[in-house]
Chains A and B, each alone.
Chain A
Amino acid sequence: MNILYDERVDGALPDVDRQALLQALQSRLPGLEILHQQEELKPYECDGLSAYRTTPMLVVLPRHIDEVQGVLRVCHELHVPVVARGAGTGLSGGALPLEKGVLLVMARFNNILGIDPAARTARVQPGVRNLAISQAAAPFGLYYAPDPSSQIACSIGGNVAENAGGVHCLKYGLTVHNVLKVDILTVDGEHLSLGSNALDAPGFDLLALFTGSEGLLGVITEVTVKLLPKPQTAKVLLAAFDSVEKAGRAVGDIIAAGIIPGGLEMMDNLAIRAAEDFIHAGYPVEAQAILLCELDGVEADVSDDCDRVRQVLQQAGATEVRQAKDEAERVRFWAGRKNAFPAVGRLSPDYYCMDGTIPRRELPGVLHAIAELSNEYGLRVANVFHAGDGNMHPLILFDANQPGELERAENLGGKILELCVKVGGSITGEHGVGREKINQMCAQFNSDELTLFHAIKAAFDPSGLLNPGKNIPTLHRCAEFGAMHIHGGQLPFPELERF
C-alpha cells in the first residue's frame, strides 16, 4: 500500500489557488523568501527518507519568528496545509511535503540564544544543529546528551518534533528527558510556552505531549535544553560471540550485574563484515555477533565497571573481549558502528533502515524470525542494534532499479515491524512514524486508540492543517490496510484487536 499522501484514504485536502496564496504571502510578508519555481522546489521534495518524493506547492524560508507567525496566519485563513521542516535529515518522511501544502523551512533559525552554565541550560532556535549545542557548551565542561547518528546535521527543532534518540538513551534518556521548555506557534499563529525554566510547570504536561508529535500540534520556535557535565572518562570493551543468542544474553547479564553502560551496541555478522571492509576498525569478522560496551563517568568507577563487565562477558561465553587501549582505538571501535549504515550501503545499491523496539529478552527469537523473513523475501538483512534499550535497526538490502524490489523491501520491513509489535515492542524507537510507518500504526494501535489520538489533534489543530497524513493514520487507511493483510481468511496476528 503506497505511503504517498492518498486523499482517498488519508482524507481530502483543501484545493488551494496557488497563485492567490503566493500573492497573499508576498503582500502580507514582503521580506519573506518564497520558492515557487519548479527547479527551486526540487531540493525540498524529500527528507532523509529519499525513496519518497513529493514536490511542495511552495517553500517558505522565514528569517524572523514574526514571519513564521505570518505564514501560519495566512495559511490558516486560506485553509492551506503546512509541513514544517528542520534540517531534513529525518528517516521516516516526517517532513515529506504535500503537493497541496506549504513547506515551512525552519533551518535559518540557527542562533544559540544563550548558554547558562550555572543553570546548565541552553536556549536555542529550532534550526540549531544538535552537535552545535554540545560544541557551544564544551568550554563550560557541559554537553547536550541525546546524540542521534545525524547529530552533525540534524536540528534541535526536528529532534524535539521526533523525540530523537541516539546510542546513549539507556543511561541519558531521549530528547523528552533532556528538554526543559519549548516555545511553539499554534496552527493559527498563537504563541505558547510549554514547560518552564524550572524542572516542571503547572498544568498538563504539554511539553511531553508535543515532544515527538511530529509537527502535528504546532510549530517549534525555540527550545531550552538541559546540559550535563561531561563524563570524566569513557572506556569501550569489544566482545565477540559465536552466536547472537549468547550476545543477547550477555546484555541482560550486564544489566543484572547492576551496571548501566553509557552505550551498548550489537552488530551481526553481515554488519560486522561490512563495517570492517569499510572502516578497518579491527572487528573480528568471523564472529556471529559483537557487543560494544561503553562505560563512562568518574575514572575510578569506570575502571571498576570495566573489570566487572569483562568478567560478565567472559562468563556469558564471549570468544574474545578487548578493551580499547587508548582514545584512538576507542574512536576506531566506534567508527565501525557509527559507519555501519554507509558500510552496509556499499554492499548493495540501496538499503532500507528499520527502527523497531523489542523487550531485550525477545532478541534471539526476533533475529531468528528476521532471518526467516529475509529468506522468504529473498533480500539480505544486516542487523545493528542499540542493545541496551532494545532498539533494533535491521537494514534491508535491495536494488531499487530491479522491478518490484523496493516494494518487496517495504513489505519485508512492514513484517519486521509487525513482529516487533507482536512481541510487545513498538514500530518505532527513535525515527518516528512520519509517512513511512503510517500503515504499521494500524498494527500497534486499535481504532479506539487511534480515535483518541485524533481527539488530541483536534484539541490543537481542529482544521487538521498541520502536517496532515503523518504520525496517526485515518481509520479509513487502517481498514484498507487490515483488509489487505488477511491471508487465507487469517489475520497475521489474530490476538490483536481489529476493526
Chain B
Amino acid sequence: MRGPEDFDDSQLLLEQVNQALENATPLRIQGSNSKGFLGRTTAGEILDTRAHRGIVSYDPTELVITARCGTPLSELALALDAAQQMLPCEPPSFGDGATVGGMIACGLSGPRRPWSGSVRDFVLGTRVITGQGKLLRFGGEVMKNVAGYDLSRLMTGSYGCLGLITEVSLKVLPKPRKVLSISLEMDPERALLRLAEWGQQPLPISAACHDGTHLHLRLEGGEGSVAAAHERLGGERLDASYWEDLNEQRLSFFDEDQPLWRLSLPHNTPRLSLPGRQLIDWGGAQRWLKSDAEAAFIRQVVDEVGGHVTCFSHGLTDTPFQPLPPALMRYHRNLKQQLDPRGIFNPGRLYAEL
C-alpha cells in the first residue's frame, strides 16, 4: 500500500507554522489549489501541504482509512477500490491533484450526501497544527468517541481558518452490491413532489438530480431491492458516469458564462423563482443556479425559505459565503481568536472578520 512518494513532512510543516507565528506572517494553506476558487481572495505566504502524503493505515475490516493531508484523493480512491470500499460522501475533486486536506477543509460532499451523510459525518479523527504551534491529535480511529470536544468535525469545512489539518482518519463503507441509474421525464415541480413522497419510503435511492426536463435517480443496494425499485419506478437507463460529471461540474449546465451559485435548502422547498437556470441536486436539498441576479437578491429569496447561498464564481462578491447573524459572528470571532490568536491561518478566506 505504501507509495513511492509517501513522506512524513509534519516536522517541516510544524517549523513553517512556528516561523509564521513568530513573524505573524499570514499563511495561505494550499494543496493542489483545485478548490482555491472557493472563498474570499486572501493574501498570505503559500504553505504547500503536498509533500506530506501517503496512506498511513487502512484496514478494510475496521472500515477506517488514515491519510496525510497531501495525499491525492485519487490515491485514496484507488486504495478503497481495491478493497471494494468507498468514501460514501463522494467529495468532489475539481481537479486532478485534489488532496485529502482540501477535501476536509472545504467539506464539500457529492450526490450521495442526503442519504449517506457529509464529509464531516465520516471524519473520525485528525492531527492538527494549532495556532499555538503544536501538532496535536483529536478523535481517533474508532467509530464512537465522545471524549472531549469534537475538534475534528469542527475543523471540517472551516476552510483552514482554525489550524492546519495534517492527517485525517475517515470511516469508509463497503460499496453497494448493485448500482443502477435511471432517467424519468417529468417537470421539476412534479419531481420535487415525487422525491418528498419517495423520501418517506424505504427506497434504495442514493442520488437524485433534476436537470430541467428529466429526473435522474441512482439506485443502490442489494440485487433484490434495486430490481424491485427499478420495476416500480421504470424509466430509461442512465450511464453511471452522469453522477461523476454532476459532482465534478462537467455537465453542460455548468459551462455557461453566468456566475454559479450553490443553494442549500430544506428538503421540501418548492421550486424557487429566480432569474437564470437551475439544476436540482440532493433530492432538492442542494440546487445550482446559473444567474446574473444580484447576490443580495438571491440571498433574500433563499433566506426566506430557511436556506443559504454560496457563490462558486471566484471574485464576484466579497462575501461568497452567506453572512452570519451578528451574534453568531461574534462567537465565530471568539473561536478564531482562541484557536488562532495570531491570525495566521487563511485569514479572511471564510469571512473578512475571521
Chain A residues within 8 Å of B, Cβ to Cβ? 116-121, 140-142, 162-163, 165, 169-170, 173-174, 176-177, 186, 190-193, 196-206, 208-209, 211-213, 229-232, 252-253, 255-256, 258-260, 297-301, 303-305, 357-361, 386, 389-391, 424-433, 437, 441, 444-446, 448-449, 451-453, 455-456, 458-460, 471-472
Contacts and interface: CB of A to CB of B under 8 A. Distances in A.
Nearest to A420: B142
A208 to B, nearest CB: 4
Contact of B60 (A162, A186, A256, A455): A256
A9 B137 CA distance: 25
A234 B59 CA distance: 28
B301 interface: no
A202 B321 contact: yes
Kindly list the 4 A-B residue pairs having the minimum CB-CB distance in the complex, ordered from nearest. Answer: A300-B224, A301-B222, A429-B144, A208-B153
A176 B153 contact: yes
B225 A300 contact: yes
B273 interface: no
Interface string B287-314: 0000000000000000000111010000
Contact of A199 (B61, B201, B264, B324): B264
A301 B154 contact: no
Contacts of A441: 147-148
Contacts of B204: 298
Most buried by B among A300, A391, A433: A300
B331 A206 contact: yes
14 contacts: A119-B266, A196-B307, A198-B266, A198-B306, A199-B286, A359-B141, A424-B141, A429-B143, A433-B146, A446-B136, A448-B132, A448-B136, A452-B132, A453-B149
Contacts, number: 272
A208 B242 CA distance: 32
Nearest to A202: B322
A130 to B, nearest CB: 16
A165 B63 contact: no
Most buried by A among B113, B146, B334: B146
Interface residues of B, number: 87
A10 to B, nearest CB: 16
A427 B162 CA distance: 26
B348 interface: no
A44 B249 CA distance: 56
A205 B202 contact: no
Contact of B267 (A120, A301, A424): A120
Nearest to B324: A203
A303 B60 CA distance: 24
A174 B145 CA distance: 10
Interface in B216-249: 221-225, 227-228
Given A169-B143, A390-B142, A391-B144, 4 more contacts: A119-B267, A142-B200, A173-B117, A453-B151
B222 A300 contact: yes
Contacts of B61: 252-253, 255-256, 360-361
B2 interface: no
B99 interface: no
A227 to B, nearest CB: 9
Interface string B134-168: 10111011111111111101101110011000000
Contact of A301 (B64, B132, B224, B329): B224
B151 A459 contact: no
B132 A203 contact: no
A213 B151 CA distance: 11
Given A208-B154, A211-B150, A428-B147, A449 B331 contact: no
A449 B138 CA distance: 8
Given A192-B331, A255-B61, A202 B150 contact: no
A162 B221 contact: no
B268 interface: yes
Nearest to A141: B200
A253 B113 CA distance: 28
Contact of B338 (A386, A449, A455): A455
Interface stretch (B3-11, B20-28, B170-178): B170-178
A209 B332 contact: no
Given A203-B321, A203-B328, A448-B134, A209 B154 contact: yes
B82 to A, nearest CB: 13
A282 to B, nearest CB: 29
A260 B332 CA distance: 38
A174 B144 contact: yes
Contacts of A203: 321, 324, 328-329, 332, 350-351
